[in-house]
Structure 1
Amino acid sequence: MGDQENRARASRAERRRHERARLIIDLYFEGQEGTGIASTKDISAGGLYMNTKALIPEGTSLTLRIPLGDEQIVVRGRVVYSNPGRGVGVKFQDLSERDREIIERAVARETDRP
């Protein structure tokens, strides 16, 4: 089995562990490849997909500033897959309990909408 298949399987497993919402918000990212503004495609307590034209390779560590409602979280993440010129999948690292709760509330608000 190839690396790409393993990543796809891991990504599906991650989605099952954490409820995801299609929440589109602007966020700020910073990493060794530079800084920028991107938008999310979806988010969960495990991570997010970030729409960006920036070329950010897999394995890159990022610091993300994510506004969620009246609050903002700052979280470290690692790029787990890259779709060059379109976006990246980011897995959160060392997410605090407070930040997890903020994300889960935002996801719940979005999934409860009619």
Structure 2
Amino acid sequence: MEDDRDDDNDNAGPTPDERRQTRRERLILDLFFNGTDLTGVASINDISLGGLYMKTQQFIPENSLLTLRIPFAEGDVIVNGEVVYTRPNDGIGIRFQGLRDADREIIKRALADT
């Protein structure tokens, strides 16, 4: 029996773009983060209403929970997030958890201005 699968992709899961539920826009901002055993400042590379990618050299494992403070012109957005993927020595993808409506509106307006 012939196997029609592409051997190069047998173990490949969905890419971050395929997993993402909302489209990310490029927006460069610094953010502040706190986790169980870490704290720091990083740069946002891109952001959506569902999450963001932040540039950091710090190793932060997948499934880590972080509290993020993102300073927008309208005010700070403070939101919890889960690390959904890592790129060692580059950055991490974060999915927001429990984004408040007011914070969602701040992000929407910032994205509309890009």
Aligned Cα root-mean-square deviation (Å):
1.5
Change (3 A) 1:91 1:69: same
- Counterparts of 2:72 and 2:23 in 1: how far apart (Å)? 16
Aligned equivalent of 1:88, options 68, 92, 99: 92
**What SS does the corresponding residue of 1:104 show, helix, strand or coil?**
helix
Matched to 1:50, the amino acid is M
Structure 1 position 11, deviation (Å): 3.7
Q: For 1:46-79, what per-residue CA distance to the aligned partner results, in whole angstroms no more than 9, with x for missing partners?
A: 0000000000000000000001113111000000
- Counterparts of 1:33 and 1:50 in 2: how far apart (Å)? 18
2:10 corresponds to 1:5: no
Matched to 2:51, the amino acid is G
TM-score by length of 2: 0.85
- Counterparts of 2:110 and 2:24 in 1: how far apart (Å)? 10
Whether the 8 Å contact between 1:20 and 1:107 is mirrored in structure 2 is: no
User: How much identity, in percent, do the aligned residues show?
Assistant: 47
- Counterparts of 1:70 and 1:103 in 2: how far apart (Å)? 9
Matched length: 105
**What SS does the corresponding residue of 2:104 show, helix, strand or coil?**
helix
- Deviation >6 Å, runs of 4+: none
Identify the residue that residue 83 of structure 2 maps to in structure 1.
Answer: 79
Unaligned runs of 5+ in 2: 1-9
Specify which structure has the higher proportion of helix: 1
2:52 corresponds to 1:48: yes
- Counterparts of 1:33 and 1:5 in 2: how far apart (Å)? 29
After the TM superposition, which residues 1-114 of structure 1 pair with which residues of structure 2 at under 5 Å, given as runs? 2=11, 5-6=13-14, 8=15, 11-14=17-20, 17-110=21-114
Structure 1 position 13, deviation (Å): 4.2
**What SS does the corresponding residue of 1:22 show, helix, strand or coil?**
strand
